[in-house]
Amino acid sequence: MSFFLEGLRQAWQLIVHHDPFLWHLVWITLKVAAVSTIAALVIGLPIGLTLGLGRFRGRGPLILLANAGLGLPPVVVGLVLSLLMFPAAPLGRFHLLFTLRGVYVAQSLLALPVIIALTAAAVADMAPGLLPQARAYGARRWQLALLALREARVGIMAAVIAAVGSAMSEVGAIVLVGGNILGLDQTLASAALQEVEAGHFANGIAISILLMGLILVVLGLLTLLQQFGAARRMGASS
């Protein structure tokens, strides 16, 4: 109990005194979450829309693969990527190992199945008859995609929330690919792990408390956006 109380005290001190170490960790954590989620959206949204809207051979196995990707162990992804990023390995020429860019790649790959699977599910769950009606009025493929994005925005926002939350709390891939290097690619989650491993339990608790607070704030704001979209959808349909 004393460790927890000391962690609370140190967390308060870090916040009040605007500790530069802390705010750098916050900045890196937010950057990793933002960059990886945006990259996953750019790549995953078209794939998720295709799986949700399409009716083609092989669609079922692809959806199964995307859903299975939701259970990818981050440590395994980090291990495989780190081996591929060694100097003599296929990705070695890009110099990604133990860099922030490498962490972006790892987190983007972890977020990608989340975006694809949840987007496909949200699109497939749209009101029946909506897309056939749009096709009957002569809507083109890109117009159907925009319609699906608009109608499935609540589910897609859920995918964004899940991807951001995963990126902010991830440790395994960051440690293996980025090396958990202080001042370079260390995040709040990986810093908390390092402090605990070093026996600095109060520091680890302090950083963990701050991480939880940051997650609540960021995901709370995203949830408000999601609810706003849901309210607009209900208002439009009434």
Q: Which amino acid is at 2?
A: S
pLDDT of 56 reads 82
pLDDT of 137 reads 67
pLDDT of 74 reads 93
Three-state helix/strand/coil letters over the chain: CHHHHHHHHHHHHHHHCCCHHHHHHHHHHHHHHHHHHHHHHHHHHHHHHHHHHCCCCCHHHHHHHHHHHCCCCHHHHHHHHHHHCCCCCCCHHHCCCCCHHHHHHHHHHHHHHHHHHHHHHHHHCCCCCHHHHHHHCCCCHHHHHHHHHHHCHHHHHHHHHHHHHHHHHCCHHHHHHHCCCCCCCCCHHHHHHHHHHCCCHHHHHHHHHHHHHHHHHHHHHHHHHHHHHHHHHHHHHC
Q: Which amino acid is at 137?
A: Y
Distance CA 40, CA 108 (A): 5
Half-sphere exposure of 129 (CA within 13 A, CB side): 0
- Give the contacts of 211 (CB within 8 A, at least 6 positions apart): 29, 168, 169, 188, 189, 192
pLDDT of 148 reads 84
- Give 41-76 pLDDT, tens digit per residue: 999 999 999 998 887 888 889 999 999 999 989 999
Q: In this structure, what token pair is assigned to residue 3?
A: 């460790």
Nearest to 12 by CA among 217, 220, 213: 213
pLDDT of 196 reads 86
| pLDDT values of the chain reduced to their tens digit, one per residue, 238 residues | 576 677 777 777 777 777 788 889 999 999 999 999 999 999 999 999 999 888 788 888 999 999 999 998 999 999 999 999 999 999 999 999 999 999 999 999 999 999 999 999 998 887 677 766 777 667 777 787 888 888 888 899 999 999 999 999 999 888 999 999 988 899 999 999 998 888 877 778 888 888 999 999 999 999 998 888 777 766 655 5
- Kindly list the structural domains of the chain, giving each domain's residue range(s) and its CATH number in brackets, ordered by start: 2-17+32-233 (1.10.3720.10)
pLDDT of 23 reads 87
Q: pTM here?
A: 0.88
Q: Which amino acid is at 12?
A: W
Note whether 121 and 155 are within 8 A (CB): yes
pLDDT of 202 reads 76
pLDDT of 21 reads 83
